[in-house]
Structure 1
Amino acid sequence: MAGPGEPVYVTVSALDAGHLTLPERLFVTDADPDKRSTVPSLSFLIQHPSSPASRPQRSVTNLVFDLGVKRDITGYTPAQQEHIAQRQPVTTDPDCAASLRYGAGGSTDSGKVLLDPQRDIDVVILSHVHWDHVGTPSDFGSAAFAVGSGTLDLLARGAGPLYPAELFNADEIPASRTVEFPAVPRRAAGYTEPQHTPAAPDALARLPASARHWSWKPLADAFPSTLDFFGDGSLLIIDTPGHLYGHVNLLARVAEHRYVYLGGDCCHDPRILRGERGIAEYDDGRGGTRSVHVHTAEARRALDDIAKFVKARGGRDQVEVVVAHDGEWRERNRTRFWPGRL
């Protein structure tokens, strides 16, 4: 535990949470039209040196960012399953819960449980509620859920012709234990979010005391809207709405002058992060074009913001950026999966 005035750091560990297969032409420019790549849907365990609100006897708050693919594919709606059929092969073993219990690879050989998702996870933050990030929320029966503004309304009602309600499970996450981050006051022209849902008092009580005072503030001339999750600068929520309504990223301070940026689906290919490719656009079936993002211009702006922050903080040696579907990163960093650390 840091003393008064001392900087607070968190630890970050990667978690396997299933794989899916993406056609390259839908995600990056100058793509091979026939190439399909099987990629991870990564989750992350973040540990903060504080007592969780619901377990004051403990000295560590365990937070999971994204839950990956459901263990049981039949838990998806029929419309979701039609979409998943186009992303085969899909693998679900190990899922997020198994990776937490048994560590890298999810092996049960030792029989030792590292973390029990039902008892030991205090908070789940979802970057957004696409099928390959929502996982199996019932595995986290004592956790509070934190999501972007408008998420609960999106799950219940959908949002326009490209995001109909049938693409989501209305009861995907436990509403009684879910808190939406505050609505962001300023948006790009033409960007209208689903309705914000106020938090139930019982849900808010499960979160750090700082949750009562959350507000969006700019950071380092790079990110227009950030929120200090624990109130000590160790974990910032970054508003990144381009991919889907309510989409957020995380910025974790893991050491002095060193950060891990968890990008969710700000992009789907590491070549976009490196500036080698752009975001693909394709026929939307309605006489126009679209990308895999709800607002492509906002998605591009978010990538520019990330690049500005990385440059301002000393480059990629100081700020490690990891997006959810980066298979290259997964293969290079197997030792940094739980119980290893980034």
Structure 2
Amino acid sequence: MAAVVTVSALDAGHLTLPERLFVTDADPDLRATVPSLSFLVRHTAPSGATTAVLFDLGVKRNIDGYTPAQRAHIAQRQPVVVSPDCADSLRRGHSPTATDGEQQQLLLLDPTTDVDVVILSHVHWDHVGTPSDFGRAVFAVGAGTLNLLRHGAGPLYPAALFNADELPAARTLEFPPAPASPYDSHTAEHAPAPTPNTPTMAALLPPTIRYPWRWEPLPANDTDDPAFPAALDLFGDGSVRVVDSPGHLFGHVNLLLRTAPRRYVYLGGDCCHDPRILRGEKGIALYDDGCGGLRSVHVDTGAARRTLGRIARFADGHGDGDGDVEVEVVVAHDAVWRDRNRHRFWPGTL
């Protein structure tokens, strides 16, 4: 039987987005407060060993933990809601039937001791959360991320927009660079260099995780155009695949999770900020980049469109060459999905 995982959504803060910066044909005055979702993924090996993986950490509960340039940006995204944050949601979860007093007494998971791995889709301010809450976890990020945090990446992504000390240096590994660059030449020239993992850091990974990491096309067969050109089998059993998902920010990755033999959950991070784009109802908005040109919220709009196209095709049930596959795609800032799926938040499951 195919290996599967359990997945639970977590509240990890909210922020407010002006529609005009994200979708075409937008209401110029509409601003929507949306979640920054985190997800708990639990994998049980044949030996019985359970590995707890977090995907994204949402918003910091202490805004003062951001750099001055980040706080200036956050001021444009108000209202921002910081509670509950990811750690608090892990501790107490969400129970639709519990009273406030009962909810406060819950202690479901201790973020300090019960989380093994944290995977960040990328390191924008609304996804990095409070890494110090996860004192035992190994962090895993896309190629070039550590360099990006230290030095930025080109004029639109200066170092001031990132915190060089965001992640624990001794416990943070990078996924390897994907085999081929998906970026246009202008974007590629600003791509941050990857940081090699040391054997000491790799030794911190749970023994259930397959390492060294390597990218493979998915599906790994003779098709000319695989569903995803670069996917990494985290546990070596097909239950969790890290998907190289270029476009939004350098190092952006997604997760493809098998939750039943013929059912997948695809965690899309910031592949788009509005699910209507994924459904083809809206396009990616372009706006003045302040340098005499146009830009979108993505570092490479063309690459982002190509990633969205691959996700959409996979979600249509063609991921393994057979239409009898259910795929649910969840992006980080989907307020409608959150409101409709409260029963699937931890300790509930997707």
Give the TM-score band, short-chain normalised: over 0.9
Following superposition, the deviation at residue 50 of structure 1 comes to: 3.0
CA distance, structure 2, for counterparts of residue 200 and residue 238 of structure 1? 22
Counterpart position of 1:32: 27
1:276 corresponds to which residue?
A: 281
The partner residue of 2:315 within 293, 310, 321 is 310
Query: 1:78: which partner in 2?
Result: 68
Give the match for residue 114 of structure 2.
120
Aligned counterpart, 1:48: 43
Q: CA deviation at 1:102?
A: 0.2
Q: Does 1:200 align with 2:198?
A: yes
Corresponding residue for residue 150 of structure 2: 156
Distance 1:108 1:295, change over 3 A: farther
CA distance in structure 2 between the partners assigned to 1:130 and 1:147 by the alignment: 12
Give the C-alpha shift of residue 137 in structure 1: 0.1
Equivalent pair of 1:208/1:230 in contact (CA under 8 Å): no
* Aligned residues: CA RMSD: 1.8
Q: Which residue of 2 aligns with 1:64?
A: 54
Tell me the residue number matched to 1:3.
none
Partner secondary structure for residue 287 of structure 1? coil
For these two proteins, the number of residue pairs brought into alignment is 332
Deviations 1:256-288 (A, max 9, x none): 110000000000001111110010001111111
How does 1:171-186 map onto structure 2 within 5 Å? 171-186=165-180
- The amino acid of 1:298's aligned partner reads A
Structure 1 residues not aligned, in runs of 5+: 1-5
Residue matched to 2:84:
94
Matched residue, 1:329: 337
Q: TM-score, normalised by structure 1?
A: 0.93
Whether 1:217 and 2:211 are equivalent positions in the alignment is: no
Give the distance between the partners of 2:124 and 2:178, measured in 1 at CA.
Answer: 21
The unaligned stretches of length 5 or more in structure 2 are 220-225
Contact persistence 1:204–1:211 (CA under 8 A): no
Q: Distance in 1 between matches of 2:323 and 2:13?
A: 30
Query: Is the CA contact (8 Å cut-off) linking 2:262 and 2:325 kept in structure 1?
Result: no
Shift of the 315–87 alpha-carbon distance from structure 1 to 2, 3 Å rule, reads: farther
Q: 1:270 to 1:206 in 2, by over 3 A?
A: same
> Closer, same or farther in 2 for the Cα pair 1:212/1:157, shift >3 Å?
same
Q: Does 1:168 align with 2:158?
A: no
Q: Describe the shift of the 1:316–1:67 C-alpha distance in structure 2 as closer, same or farther (beyond 3 A).
A: farther
CA distance in 2, matches of 1:200, 1:37: 43
Structure 2 match to 1:267:
272
Matches of 1:26 and 1:154 in 2, distance apart?
23
Matched with 2:328 is 320
Over the matched positions of the two proteins, sequence identity in percent amounts to: 66
Deviations, residues 188-217 of structure 1 (Å, cap 9, x unaligned)? 331422111111323211224554331111
Aligned residue type for 1:322: V
One-letter code aligned to 2:215 = W
User: SS where residue 54 of structure 2 aligns?
Assistant: strand
**TM-score, scaled to structure 2:** 0.91
State the secondary structure of the residue aligned to 2:259: strand
Q: Does structure 1 retain, via aligned residues, the 8 Å contact 2:262–2:324?
A: no
Q: State the SS of the aligned residue for 2:146.
A: helix
2:75 and 2:212 mapped to 1: Cα distance? Answer: 43
Superposed displacement of residue 184, structure 1: 1.2
In structure 2, what is the equivalent of residue 130 of structure 1?
124
